Amino acid sequence: MNFYATKISDKGDIAVDDTLLVKDVLCTAGSNILQGFTPLFSAEAVTRLVSVGYTISGKTHVGEFGLDLVGEFSNYSEKTDTLKGAAAELVKEGKVKAALGVDVNGAPRRAASISGVDFLKSTYGTVSRYGVVSTAASGEAVGVYAKDAVAVGEIMSKIAGYDSKDGTCQNNEFEYDYSATKDIKGKKVCIITELYEKCDDAIKAKIDSAAKILEKNGVQVDRISSDIFSLAATAWQILYTAETCNNLSRYDGVKYGLRAKEYKNIDELYVNSRTEGFNFLTKAVILYGSDVLSKNRYKDCYDKALRVRRVVAEQLAEILKTYSAVLTPACSAAEYSAYNIADAFSKVFGELEFTAIANLTGNPALVSSGVQFIGDYYKEGDLLCLANAIERMGE
Amino acid sequence: MGYEVVIGLETHVELSTNSKIFCSCGGHSSPKEPNDCVCPACSGMPGMLPVMNKRVVELAVTAGLMLNCEISRYTTFDKKNYYYPDLPCAYQITQLNHPICTNGLVTVKTANGARDIRIKQIHMEEDAGKLVHEGKFSFVDFNRTSVPLIEIVTQPDFRSAEEVLAYLNKLKSMFRAGNISECEEGAMRCDVNISVRKEGSDEFGVRTEIKNMSSFEAIDKAIRFEAQRHIDALEFETEELVQETRRFDDVTGKTFAMRNKETEADYRYFPDANLMPIIIDDEWLEQIKAAKPVEVDERAEEYRAEGISDKEIEILLDNSKAAKLLDDVIALGCNAKDSAAWILTDCAGILRKDGQSLNELNISAEKLAAIIKMVANGDVNRNSGKKILIAVVEDDVDPVKYCDEQGFAKKVDSSAVESVIDKVLSENTKAIEDYKNGKEKAKQALFGACMKELKGAGDPALIRTLLDNKLQNI
């Protein structure tokens, strides 16, 4: 299977998802609408890696704008029976040391979970979003796929840090700590029973096994109940569709990318280009987002979702006062089979409960060994150490 | 019973900044070619993020202070969604929920007296681009996209076109003095909300909005036309008034309704997550306050106190460059009244000869001050000073050096002048006689002869005084 949308170098050690720009290399974000689009600059994360000696191997396939489960709705990749993420598979096969991805809706985390590699969605604002093909600016984050926590930490430490080109970048004085090998003895972790119950047996087994290993390493594992994950899913569903609707409106057939061949006036140019340019899932997201932003719905949907965002963040912070991390699944199943595109919207929304909270509140989330750790702001190091302990015991 | 016209104004003002509001593109005030001042950000390419231009905030706050507004300490941006080819992202970044300034007040004066105009709010936003239509094709020019604007929204407090014009002229003077905007044609655009009611009524009539006018003349005409149209509709039932958006046609001098489609859009405003809320703390606000130029009215009073004429004050308030130059030469120790004449009469005269206006004046305050002082100290006479000024304005020479080269600065003391006068008098006994017989002209001839003898280096006032003395003693 070809994982690359565009191959750049056989010697490359870093793959880059096609939702991040690499200067002068075709970038479509998996969409027809960006047909033939070649950016004039590279994403800041890419520039930083190249500047310290890494080489980019190529651009990996993503589902259109990264909105699907794991990348199944790219307009450029082959269809398969079982769904896998391109970048995650490349890492798993050892073809690259690491890959960069954009997490707006959990797709890279689900892909990492299924392929059995690591993916870290960083704390919002720690990695510049300059050069991200943006969908939902308030929650999207650049993250790193790698074979293990140590490798994730190595790459993260190269891309994190203030960038004046992104107004949402954190201007922190402190050094980010991504070392994965510190002692975890005495730490506390909690499992959310509601999420655990929603998974298939294979995922449950992974959570159980992770819990067991952590306990062996002196970590206290509690099971607690919380409804904030489902609240977060609903709120993020409203916010990310609205923001995506807005951010994708620039793809209008006027300036670059696809322009429909048939049109009689400017309205037809817009409508026909966008009809041909976007797939079903993207259109569904745009319509949903447009609806929640409309005059009649704004107060009940968008405005309320913003308030829920704050409540969820506060309650998650409360949990994280006691626990170093929440241990949850990243998806409901250990494997996804191909499905009908007409079901895409409900499939994707159905999986949001596991991932949305990290996008909604900006907390970091690390997928490793098929499970997910969600932690406090800037405490990626804690998550990497927990994951590292499990990875070493597995060997 | 008469009718009362009620008007509210939304005024867009282009800010004088070096770069655009959310990117570092510059030169947008005088682009050479279409799409000259464009980058991936202001042309709506994926991957680019807006980054706030701090100067825009400072200018908006300064404008708010000038209009006596409350300055928001927490201000945010929102996105306004609509599709148009000149809007590259298909949304405009503007301020809806937390505008930068609110609740201002400005007094306008007309022949009918003064009126307080309440300012509802001032908000920051980006401009859109421009479409150029040629035959079958339309071209998009993004030079103007993301150029910073402030929109100043008033309450419906105007009662006449005169008041509206007085207000706009006042804004123009203030903003020029404050270097907020050049306010040139097109850099100030107005939407006028207008309704008419019976005098004494408290209720507002049906309101129409006339969109996007940039010349004061058009605004004046449009208001007069529209007010009369409303009055006719009420008085003679010529038509039924509906709330709508209209355009003013310069050629016919009439307003006409725009298509409904253009006015009924749902812009789906929502907060822009790419721009963090801006916090204006005490320290920053104090800095902006300290840098704020003196108010127009206050400044006019200062000039008047210095003996500068009303006519000159009017020119100075309208021309920030000349005003700045005047302030600078005064700061260098020159007399205000003299300096105003040097700038507004002499400099302006030199420029006029070359078909230029005061705006194109390019002289350093130091050089001008040097000339003014040379003349004031009597080192050279005013005529020579003027010659030096011409050389400085046209060739940017060093005034002192030039003066030496041309021999203007030959210092002539009073004893030298006296001996020259004695010489002239001894050679012109006839003229002395004529003068004694009452011919004033004869004295003028003697004065001219002295001047000629001194080759223009003598101080005319001194010569005149000494000559008078001598003549009286003969």
- Do residue B263 and residue B362 come from a single domain? no
Q: Which residues of B touch A168 (CB under 8 A)?
A: 49, 273-274, 276
Task: Tell whether B389 and B449 lie within a shared domain.
Answer: no
Indicate the residue among B389, B406, B423 that finishes a domain.
B406
Q: Where are the domains of chain A?
A: 4-170+179-394
CA–CA dist B464, B381 (Å, integer):
13
B52/A167 touch (CB, cutoff 8 Å), yes or no:
yes
Share of chain B above pLDDT 70, in %: 96
**What 8-state DSSP symbol labels residue B445?**
H
User: With an 8 Å Cβ cutoff, is B90 touching chain A?
Assistant: yes
As a whole number of angstroms, the distance between CA B318 and CA B165 comes to 15
Select the residue of B49, B272, B273 nearest A130 (Cβ to Cβ). Answer: B49
Q: Are B161 and B182 in contact (CB under 8 A)?
A: no
Question: What number is the average pLDDT over the span B114-119?
Answer: 95
B125 shares a domain with B211: yes
Distant-in-sequence, close-in-space partners of B141: CB < 8 Å, separation ≥ 6: B34, B35, B86, B129, B130, B131, B132
Instruction: Report yes or no on B286 lying in a domain.
Output: no
Q: From first to last of its 395 residues, what are the pLDDT tens digits of chain A?
A: 789 999 999 999 999 999 999 999 999 999 999 999 999 999 999 999 999 999 999 999 999 999 999 999 999 998 888 999 999 999 999 999 999 999 999 999 999 999 999 999 999 999 999 999 999 999 999 999 999 999 999 999 999 999 999 999 988 777 889 999 999 999 999 999 999 999 999 999 999 999 999 999 999 999 999 999 999 999 999 999 999 999 999 999 999 999 999 999 999 999 999 999 999 999 999 999 999 999 999 999 999 999 999 999 999 999 999 999 999 999 999 999 999 988 998 999 999 999 999 999 999 999 999 999 999 999 999 999 999 999 998 54
Q: B44 with A255: CB under 8 angstroms?
A: yes
Would you say residue B434 lies in a domain?
A: yes
CA distance A260 to chain B (A): 15
Range of the domain at B330: 295-406
CATH topology assigned to domain A4-170+179-394: Amidase signature (AS) enzymes (3.90.1300)
Evaluate whether residue B219 is within a structural domain. yes
Residue to substitute from A130, A293, A304, interface B, most B β-carbons within 10 A? A293
Query: Distance between CA B75 and CA B52 in Å, rounded?
Result: 12
pLDDT in tens, B367-392: 999 999 888 887 888 888 888 998 88
The H or E element that residue B108 is part of is strand B101-110
Q: How far is CA A114 from the centre of its chain?
A: 14
Residue of A246, A258, A298, A310 to mutate, interface with B, max B Cβ within 10 Å: A246
Segment B297-347, tens digit of pLDDT? 777 777 888 888 888 888 887 787 888 889 888 888 888 888 998 998 888
Collect all residues of chain A within an 8 Å Cβ-Cβ radius of residue B21.
none
Q: What is the pLDDT of residue B238?
A: 87
Nearest CA in chain A to B89: A250
Does B367 share its domain with B440? no
If asked whether residues B464 and B349 sit together in one domain, one would say: no
pTM as predicted: 0.81
Question: Sorting pLDDT into bands at 50, 70 and 90, what band is B466?
Answer: confident
> Quick one: B395 and B424 in the same domain?
no
Q: Do B91 and A246 touch (CB under 8 A)?
A: yes
Count of CB atoms within 10 A of residue B76's CB?
17
Our count of domains for chain B comes to 3
User: Are residues B249 and B383 both part of a single domain?
Assistant: no
Of B45, B51, B266, the CB nearest to A165: B51
ipTM score for this prediction: 0.94
Asked if B362 and B216 sit in the same domain, the reply is: no
**Does residue B110 form part of some domain?**
yes
Do B457 and B397 reside in the same domain of the chain?
no
Question: Are B95 and B77 part of one and the same domain?
Answer: yes
Last residue of a domain, one of B279, B306, B328: B279
- Using CB atoms, which residue from A131, A293, A302 is nearest to B47? A131
Min distance A138 CA to chain B CA atoms (Å): 5
Listed residues B353, B387, B406: the one ending a domain: B406
Report the phi/psi class of residue B400: left, alpha or beta, with left for phi > 0 and alpha for psi in -120 to 50. alpha
CATH of the domain at B436: 1.10.10.410
What span, in angstroms and rounded, lies between the C-alpha atoms of A164 and A183? 35
- In the predicted model, is pLDDT for residue B263 greater than 60? no
- With CA atoms as reference, the chain B residue closest to A65 would be B46
CA distance A192 to chain B (A): 30
DSSP A220-285: EEEEE--SHHHHHHHHHHHHHHHHHHHHGGG-SSSSSS---S--SSHHHHHHHHHHHHS-HHHHHH
Is B84 part of a structural domain of the chain?
A: yes
Residue B289 lies in a domain: no
Q: Quick one: B418 and B392 in the same domain?
A: no
